[in-house]
Chains A and B, each alone.
Chain A
Amino acid sequence: MKDRLTSKSSLSNFLGRPFKVIVLAIIVLAVLFPLYWLVINAFKMEQEYFARPPIMFPHHGTLQNFSEIFQKYKLPLGFMNSFLIGSLTAIFTVFFGSLAAYSLTNGFLPRRIKEVFAGWFLIQKMYPAIVIAVPVFFVISRLHLMDNIFALILMNTSFNLPLVLLLMIGFYQEVPYEVEEQSMLDGCNLWQRYACITTPMTKTGLVAVGMLTFVASWNEFLYAVILTIVRAKPLTVIIAGFITDKGLAWGPMAAMGCIVILPVIVLMWAMQKDFISGVSAGALKG
């Protein structure tokens, strides 16, 4: 289809159409080529990924790298850890976050409390997680939660709550207040209104927020590397370990990379619209 010459396309051809085509082609290539490279390396044999010149278009593949990470690098345990950290964090964040967001929107709290939470969002956006790493390390070891995925679930819940609260307050505000009033007159208390009436109306939003949280906790690395030793290591820590202490095991490393990246890409594809609006809201409302 030919582009109609509308004003949007004239804005889009701002620097001239040929230049635009070149720039966009380079960018698409720069995004896709590394991912292609990762995938083909995951299926190469050991002598192949060190081949000179590198093999760009392999004719045959092997699953050897995948079976190696399965046996040698504790893939099942790591996957389980990552999955549990991601999904339990999402569940806790959505549950606690929605309770608090509901209370802040429709509950009876002093106005100041709400301002405190808005402030917290800004503060957490600003301060790097690293600044509390050392004290958290102490608190977690005092609580005997070292090398326990619960510690990571707790920390990830804390990191994701501000954005979740912010988004969910928005969802609850979209529900007409008449719905609240009517159910109040029907004699529902706050919990009943939350659980049976208002929250079900925000279901799609909750799912989207849950997925954002899942992705963020699945990808988290800093606290994962500080708070785990052996049993609780998620995939991000295992993949970093390939570089720091296992030398250049590129095939298994690439295979592991595929497993870290793939679920996130699938999720993103499924919820692209919510993802973009979540990202923009996180940036722009704050």
Chain B
Amino acid sequence: MLISRNVKETRKDRILSWVFIMPVIIILLVTAFIPLGYGLVLSFFKYKLNMPGMKPLFIGFDNYINMFKDEMFVQSLTNNITFAILSVTIEVVVGIVVAMMLSDDSKRSRLITTILLVPMIIAPVAAGTLWRMMFDRTYGVINYLLSLIHLGPVSWLSDYHIAIFSIIFVDFWQFMPYVAVLVLSSLKAIPDSFIDAARVDGASSFDIFGKIVLPVISPVIIIVTMIRFIDAFKVFDTVFVMTQGGPGSSTEMLPTYIYRQGIKFFQVGYSSASAILFIIAMSVVAVLFNKLRTRQLRRLN
């Protein structure tokens, strides 16, 4: 809060206040606003970096229109949506169950919570590499373990239909703990007496979950779902090391697609257009979630 009762503000302090936030404003300008504006401008031009003689050519909305005719774009969009919905649903459902199981605050639960922190803090690139190694069709340990119970071998990363589920699994491995840890911290807010009282009144576990636990944790669940859903559209590192978007384009996601178009194929204008469209889509998602959240908060009050 900006409190300034009964203290005189001097001119020097006022100037210093601005000096203090200047570095942050400059960094913000150079690394966020200018690139964003530049990207918006580029998105209206036909501009290829690998043709040095070619001047950027203004083409209006053509980049945007062409995108929807581009099968690769449409596929990476559908892949990304599938990935987001499946991974977030599984992470949130399992995360809630795990958080409840760890809610007894025993020594063992605290130890497990610590262990659960590991996947979410290691570099996604390292996690992807690790699972790339374990999922290998011939030498991977997963297929070996399956062979012990006479299953497989499965082409985890090179089968057109399976690869995306392997990526979902790795995302789950990394971020289910994130959901569990956050839900766990909100479960601590439930007073023991509430549950005791409900027990005495003969409420079943499911009543307790639905009538006491769920209302308390639902604001957290909405926020966590929103964060994970938005993050699912940032997935890059794991895809990059595990499948490179393949086989075919079965695991191509929006970030890897934009990367490939812009940085690898130098389709600068086109890539910028997909980035801008991406921003618009994410804003819509954020607004929707925010509506949901305010409605929830209102109902709680």
User: Which residues does A use to contact B, with CB under 8 Å?
Assistant: 1, 3, 6-15, 20, 23-24, 27-28, 30-32, 34-35, 37-38, 41, 49-50, 52-54, 56, 96-97, 99-100, 102-105, 107-109, 111, 113-114, 120, 122, 124-139, 154-155, 157-158, 161, 165, 173, 177, 180-181, 184, 189-191, 194, 215, 218-219, 221-222, 225-226, 236, 239-240, 242-244, 248, 250, 253-254, 257, 260-261, 264-265, 268-269, 272, 275-276, 279-280, 283-284, 286
Contact = CB atoms under 8 A, between A and B. Distances in A.
Nearest to A136: B35
Contact of A134 (B16, B254, B271): B271
Given A131-B278, A133-B259, A177-B3, A189 B16 contact: yes
B247 interface: no
A134 B112 CA distance: 41
B31 interface: yes
Interface stretch (B65-73, B85-93, B119-127, B159-167): B119-127
Contacts of B100: 11-12, 14
Nearest to B4: A108
B257 to A, nearest CB: 9
Contacts of B286: 122, 126
A119 B289 CA distance: 16
Residues of B contacting A: mostly:
helix
Contact of A38 (B17, B31, B130): B130
Contacts of B74: none
A239 B123 CA distance: 11
Contact of B27 (A35, A96, A219): A96
Contact of A132 (B32, B177, B209, B230): B32
Interface of B: 1-4, 6-7, 9-10, 12-14, 16-18, 20-21, 23-24, 27-28, 30-32, 34-36, 38-39, 42, 97-98, 100-107, 109, 112, 114-119, 121-126, 129-134, 136, 139, 141, 144, 173, 177-178, 181-182, 185, 187, 190, 192-196, 199, 205, 208-209, 213, 220, 223-224, 227, 230, 233-234, 236-237, 240-241, 244, 254-255, 258-259, 262-263, 268, 271-272, 275-276, 278-279, 282-283, 286
B161 to A, nearest CB: 22
Contacts, number: 321
Given A107-B16, A107-B17, A184-B7, A127 B282 contact: yes
B124 A221 contact: yes
Contact of A130 (B21, B187, B236, B241): B236
A26 B126 CA distance: 22
A24 B35 contact: no
B132 A243 contact: yes
Contacts of A96: 23-24, 27
Given A107-B13, A177-B3, A181-B7, A130 B275 contact: yes
Nearest to A238: B125
A28 B263 contact: no
Contacts of A269: 114
Contact of B139 (A49, A130, A268): A49
B195 A54 contact: no
Given A3-B104, A103-B17, A221-B240, A131 B258 contact: yes
A218 B124 CA distance: 11
Nearest to B172: A30
B133 A134 contact: no
A30 B176 CA distance: 12
Contact of B263 (A6, A23, A126, A133): A133
Contacts of B268: 134
Residues of A contacting B: mostly:
helix
Contact of B103 (A11, A219, A239, A279): A11
A253 B117 contact: no
8 contacts: A8-B195, A131-B258, A131-B279, A219-B123, A219-B126, A221-B237, A257-B130, A280-B182
Given A31-B116, A261-B122, A103 B227 contact: no
Nearest to A110: B2
Contacts of B121: 215, 219, 264-265, 268, 275
Which of B121, B272, B275 gathers most chain A CB within 10 Å? Answer: B121
Which of B32, B117, B178 gathers most chain A CB within 10 Å? Answer: B32
Nearest 9 CB-CB pairs, A to B?
Answer: A107-B17, A103-B20, A135-B35, A219-B123, A7-B195, A12-B104, A158-B31, A131-B275, A134-B262
A139 B35 contact: yes
Given A14-B100, A114-B2, A268-B118, A132 B36 contact: yes
